[in-house]
């Protein structure tokens, strides 16, 4: 079996279990084409620029902002369970900020830099449980290194198939390209989004947030996204699909939530 075939096989193998919770596949081998340090450093630089710009436009919430405090408190409850998904998370310099903006959005960059927009938290009147599901989803993207894998795939396209076997085989060409563009402009695949939903729900449940809040969250999202393109025209699964997925996952994560509520460790 050649290197490319072996790499494709690795992508299909199921991997780590989140202890009585969600089962996740092994991380994409494509992430190995870009060093984690490089991606995290790039993310940190871009995050600093975003925060400076937000502050200059008086959009950055102050430390006394109640919504910002709520985001920080929820994040702190989620983070103790991050390293079990990705051991690197224990060394990340986690930070969260709240921006006054009408955008219905939130994100977590590689390395643990989180931003939530008021258009999401306040505009949709999200409860703490619903916000925990959102934050869990965004943190899951970072923990599963989806951005790093997308960069690796882009690198392969740029290099051409002639060197693909060598790239996957021993990483010879890793780092032989320049990271460019805005990390926030990366488009995750449907499978990335589904995985982030699953891992995020697991994180929220372990932290003692009701995973059933995912149902009301995505119904609110669906109402806010009227006129959005149908599912087959978007990499994001439709809200109706997400509701169905959450209903399917609830038997796996509700025991984690109940254990957390009763003070038993779900780590």
Residues 148 and 29: beta-carbon distance below 8 Å: no
Alpha carbons 141 and 196: distance in angstroms, whole number: 6
Q: 138, 145, 193, 198: which is the annotated catalytic residue?
A: 138
The values of phi and psi at residue 114, to 5°, are -115, 140
- The two most distant CA atoms of the chain are separated, in Å, by 59
Alpha carbons 16 and 140: distance in angstroms, whole number: 14
Alpha carbons 95 and 247: distance in angstroms, whole number: 31
Residues 96 and 114: beta-carbon distance below 8 Å: yes
- Cβ neighbours of 157 (radius 10 Å): 9
Residues 97 and 68: beta-carbon distance below 8 Å: yes
Tell me, yes or no, if 138 is annotated catalytic: yes
Beta-bridged to residue 23, according to DSSP, are 17
State whether residue 130 is helix, strand or coil.
helix
Sheet strands (E) in the chain: 14-17, 23-25, 95-99, 106-109, 113-117
User: Among all residues, which ones are annotated catalytic?
Assistant: 138
């Amino acid at each position: 079996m050649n290197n490319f075939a072996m790499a494709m096989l690795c992508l299909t193998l199921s991997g780590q279990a989140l202890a009585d919770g969600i089962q996740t596949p092994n991380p994409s081998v494509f992430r190995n084409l870009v060093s984690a340090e490089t991606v995290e450093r790039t993310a940190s630089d871009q995050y600093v620029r975003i925060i400076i710009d937000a502050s200059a436009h008086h959009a950055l919430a102050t430390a006394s902002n109640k919504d910002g405090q709520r985001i920080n408190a929820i994040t702190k409850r989620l983070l103790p369970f991050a390293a079990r998904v990705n051991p690197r998370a224990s060394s990340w310099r986690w930070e969260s900020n709240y921006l006054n903006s009408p955008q219905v959005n939130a994100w977590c960059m590689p390395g643990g830099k989180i931003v939530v927009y008021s258009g999401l938290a306040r505009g949709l009147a999200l409860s703490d449980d619903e916000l925990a599901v959102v934050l869990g989803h965004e943190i899951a993207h970072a923990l599963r290194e989806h951005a790093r894998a997308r960069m690796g795939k882009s690198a392969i396209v740029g290099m051409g198939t002639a060197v693909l076997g060598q790239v996957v085989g021993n990483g010879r060409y890793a780092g032989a390209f320049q990271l460019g563009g805005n990390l926030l402009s990366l488009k995750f695949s449907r499978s990335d989004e589904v995985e982030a939903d699953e891992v995020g729900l697991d994180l929220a449940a372990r932290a003692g947030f009701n995973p059933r809040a995912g149902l009301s969250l995505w119904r609110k999202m669906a109402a806010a996204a009227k006129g959005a393109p149908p599912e087959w025209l978007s990499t994001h699964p439709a809200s109706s699909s997400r509701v169905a997925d959450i209903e399917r996952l609830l038997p796996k994560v509700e025991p984690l939530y109940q254990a957390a509520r009763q003070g038993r460790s779900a780590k």
